[in-house]
Amino acid sequence: MTETFERRLDDVERRLLYRLDRQQDALDALFGRSPIGAPEANAVPALPTSSIPVISIIIPVHGAIDDVEACLRSIAAHPPSAAFEVIVANDASDPAEFAPVREVEGIRILDNDVNQGFLITCNNAAAQALGDYVWLLNSDTEIGPQAGDALLRTFVDFPHAAAAGSKLVYGDGTLQEAGGIVWNDASAWNYGRGGDPRHSEYDYARRADYVSAASLMVDRSVWNELGGFDTDYTPAYYEDTDLCLRIARSGRSVMYQPGSVVVHHEGKSYGTDVEQEGKHHQVVNHATFLRKWDSVLATRRANGVEPERERERTVERRVLVIDARMLTPDMDSGSLRMQNLLLSLTAANCRCTFLPHNLAADEPYAQALRTRGVEVVARPAIRSVEQFLRRRGKEFDAVVVSRLEVAEEHLTDVRRWCPDATVVYDTVDLHFLRLARAARLSGDRAAATEADRIRDDELSAIDRSDVTLVCSTSELDLLEELAPSAQVEVLGNVHRPGDFGDVADADAADRSGLLFVGGFEHPPNVDAMQWFVNDVLPMVVAEQPDAVLHVVGSRMIPDIERLAGPNVVIHGFVADLGPLQRSVRMSVAPLRFGAGVKGKVTQSLAVGLPVVGTSVSVEGAPVVDGVHALIADEAAEFATAVVRLQRDDELWNALSRNGLDTVQEHFGPEAAMSTMAKILELGR
């Protein structure tokens, strides 16, 4: 079978997969009800308006009252979590027709005596808005679940953002807009129009030339600074595109946010014929826009040329990451490290694509990546990693293959189908080192033989890659001996501000208890807890009878559950560690074998929580005994360190302060990006 024919079959299959049940079923999945836009007899519920709103929702209205009521019902069904107000800007609708809207509780109505058009109506309403953010909604829209929350969150996840727009879909479930492109002739594309809204290329947050004012949220301070919509475009058309270009010219960005899904029944107010009254202004204002922005547009491509490049004109490098499965950053430190690396690359104008080896886009984790700017590719869009690489491999400047099992499976295909990419093997930790240490501890000769086999496999993967990433300087030193010709870089844990909530209060008063955090599908964590509870904790309790160990971890197993007792509380998975981190006295990391930098250590230090650990647990971290943490390898020494830290407030405060400083210096996004910048430069 020829490669061309295979590719044609792939394309046919992809189209079929994405069009199955895409009509009403797609809308049901997005909105949890059916059908969207169908008339409803019930009255519009009261809306919980706030006098001190964060968001001011502005709905300009001129007739079509059934649509307005449907829009208000959707807001009542899916209200933003933040305080909000709803302003219905009545642009001289028929009084009798508009009367039912006046009966809706919780909205503010602003009336125009004469019809002023969309632009002036929006400007006037925004001038009276009270919120920090103005959310313009067309009267013929219906918002989906968390549509407002996703837009608002965009300004947190992307601090450079001044405006954010929704994924707009038609009533039949097809895509209307995934951000917009403005070409060099001032023509504009609603990117993705007519496509499937679930396709990965339409389903991640990114900068856009413009987003439609059908659902557009703008920082009100920026709106005021720029004077809102330019009245040169009165009564409407191109005003939103012009505003977005002015935002970009001011040094800020306009973001397309697919986590906010809005149905737009386009054309109900003004139709779609450019010769009709109202719509003809689209033609007139095109010329106005072209005159104003001709020098900027001259740098753009011609209409339709390389839209995949034009849709992301600020992207400098394209990076593919293949990992074993979907990242679960609240469950394991390896996932947190990789997620923060992806987010740091995205912030540095890289377009990142994440591909799980098992092809499963587990939720809510996949959506969390998409809304923060990472493309996630999984089933049903593709049926294999090799198929994806064959189809899109040439677009990537770098491919990161994470973990040994993934490298063994896919390095050959990456080399074949990504000819221009720098190939990076991310060890996460050196598996053979962890296995060899476990074998020495147990005296298991078969395990030692297996460790040797894994070592050979890892060295082979290193040899077939351009760059190898390790988490610690100790592993770097080891590979300098075992693979002296390899280019090896250190990329430790990556901690972004706010990963673990607020930094713990650095006051030792009123704190008690010990905390262990670790996933229990990982053998070193199982061994650590069994050793600590059986050999160390009894000596601690002898000195402090009320000492309590809190054990937190995903994928709990019976062997750990059986450790529960008067001094041991088994919590299992805990979504929010903040309350425990702010109440316990210390974190313990009694690992007797392992490799890499330990997330349980750096995560504790990142919130100012002192750590008592073994030399294995702090390996690779810039931690000095008695300065940043307490280190002990024997049971009696470990127990003594725990008791000492419990009693010495001065020591506690010093460790808290110093540990926080070292994590911010060595494990922040800047350190990670320094390493990645060097790697990405290889492919230039």
Of residues 575 and 419, more confidence is placed in 419
Question: For residues 353 and 342, what is the distance between their CA atoms, to the nearest angstrom?
Answer: 9
Cβ neighbourhood burial of 443 (10 Å; 0-12, 13-18, 19+): exposed
Residue 100, preceding bond cis, omega within 30 degrees?
A: no
- Lookup: tokens for 307: 């839209």
What H or E segment, with its residue span, contains residue 476? helix 473-482
Which are the contacts of 368, defined by CB distance < 8 A and separation ≥ 6? none
Q: Give the pLDDT score at 644.
A: 96
Q: Give the pLDDT score at 108.
A: 97
Average pLDDT over residues 407-436: 94
HEC profile of 555-607:
CCCHHHHCCCECCEEEEECCCCCHHHHHHCCEEEECCCCCCCCCHHHHHHHHC
Q: Give the pLDDT score at 28.
A: 52
Which are the contacts of 195, defined by CB distance < 8 A and separation ≥ 6? 174, 175, 178, 202
Q: Give the pLDDT score at 277.
A: 52
Residue 80, preceding bond cis, omega within 30 degrees?
A: no
Which are the contacts of 655, defined by CB distance < 8 A and separation ≥ 6? 610, 611, 627, 628, 629, 630, 645
305: pLDDT strictly greater than 70: yes
* 3-state secondary structure (DSSP) of residue 136: strand
Find the angle CA(96)-CA(101)-CA(104) to the nearest 5 degrees. 140
Q: Give the pLDDT score at 567.
A: 96
Q: Give the pLDDT score at 683.
A: 54
How many C-alpha atoms does 313 have within 13 Å on its Cβ side? 21
Average pLDDT over residues 130-158: 97
Question: For residues 657 and 96, what is the distance between their CA atoms, to the nearest angstrom?
Answer: 67
- Lookup: tokens for 474: 């100790």
- Lookup: tokens for 555: 């994928």
Average pLDDT over residues 164-175: 96
Q: Residue 151: which pLDDT band, with cuts at 50, 70 and 90? A: very high
Convert 538-566 to b/e letters by CB count within 10 Å (16 or more is b): eebbeeeeebbbbbbbbebeeebeebeee
How many percent of the chain have pLDDT more than 90? 73
| Domain ranges in the chain with CATH number 3.90.550.10 | 14-310
Query: Alpha helices of 128-265 — where are they, by DSSP H?
Result: 147-157, 220-226, 239-249
pTM for this predicted structure: 0.84
- Lookup: tokens for 450: 């297996």
Question: For residues 432 and 457, what is the distance between their CA atoms, to the nearest angstrom?
Answer: 9
* 3-state secondary structure (DSSP) of residue 630: strand
Give the helix, strand, coil percentages of the chain, each rounded to 5.
Answer: 40, 20, 40
Question: For residues 111 and 271, what is the distance between their CA atoms, to the nearest angstrom?
Answer: 23
pLDDT tens digits, one per residue of 514-539: 999 998 988 999 999 999 999 999 99
pLDDT tens digits, one per residue of 208-257: 999 999 999 999 999 999 999 999 999 989 999 999 999 999 999 999 99
What H or E segment, with its residue span, contains residue 269? none
Q: Give the pLDDT score at 666.
A: 82
* 3-state secondary structure (DSSP) of residue 142: strand
Q: Give the pLDDT score at 275.
A: 47
Contact 72, 47 (CB under 8 A): yes
How many percent of the chain have pLDDT more than 70? 90
310: pLDDT strictly greater than 70: yes
Average pLDDT over residues 152-161: 96
Q: Taking the domain 14-310, which CATH number applies?
A: 3.90.550.10
Contact 334, 599 (CB under 8 A): yes
pLDDT tens digits, one per residue of 333-375: 889 899 989 998 998 899 999 999 999 999 999 999 999 999 9
Cβ neighbourhood burial of 419 (10 Å; 0-12, 13-18, 19+): exposed
The CATH number corresponding to 514-667 among 3.30.565.10, 3.20.20.70, 3.40.50.2000, 3.40.1550.10 equals 3.40.50.2000
pLDDT tens digits, one per residue of 69-101: 999 999 999 999 999 999 999 999 999 999 999
Average pLDDT over residues 50-70: 94
The separation between CA 374 and the C-alpha centre of its own chain, rounded to angstroms, equals: 6
Q: Give the pLDDT score at 504.
A: 58
| Domain ranges in the chain with CATH number 3.40.50.2000 | 317-495+672-681, 514-667
| Edge-first strand listing for the sheet containing 514-517 | 568-572, 549-552, 514-517, 586-589, 611-613, 630-631
36: pLDDT strictly greater than 50: no
The residue type at 482: L
Contact 203, 32 (CB under 8 A): no
* 3-state secondary structure (DSSP) of residue 216: strand
Considering the chain, what is the average pLDDT of its residues? 89
Question: For residues 567 and 556, what is the distance between their CA atoms, to the nearest angstrom?
Answer: 18
Q: If you average pLDDT over each of 39-48, 50-59, 487-496, which comes out highest?
A: 50-59
Strands 568-572 and 630-631: unpaired
Q: Residue 33: which pLDDT band, with cuts at 50, 70 and 90? A: very low
Of residues 315 and 9, more confidence is placed in 315
Question: For residues 589 and 610, what is the distance between their CA atoms, to the nearest angstrom?
Answer: 11
How many other C-beta atoms can be found within 10 angstroms of the C-beta atom of residue 480?
11
- Lookup: tokens for 182: 């403005």
The residue type at 443: G
Q: Give the pLDDT score at 257.
A: 98
The CATH number corresponding to 317-495+672-681 among 3.40.50.20, 3.20.20.140, 3.40.50.10540, 3.40.50.2000 equals 3.40.50.2000
Q: Residue 267: which pLDDT band, with cuts at 50, 70 and 90? A: low
- The conformation of residue 129, written as its DSSP 8-state character, comes to -
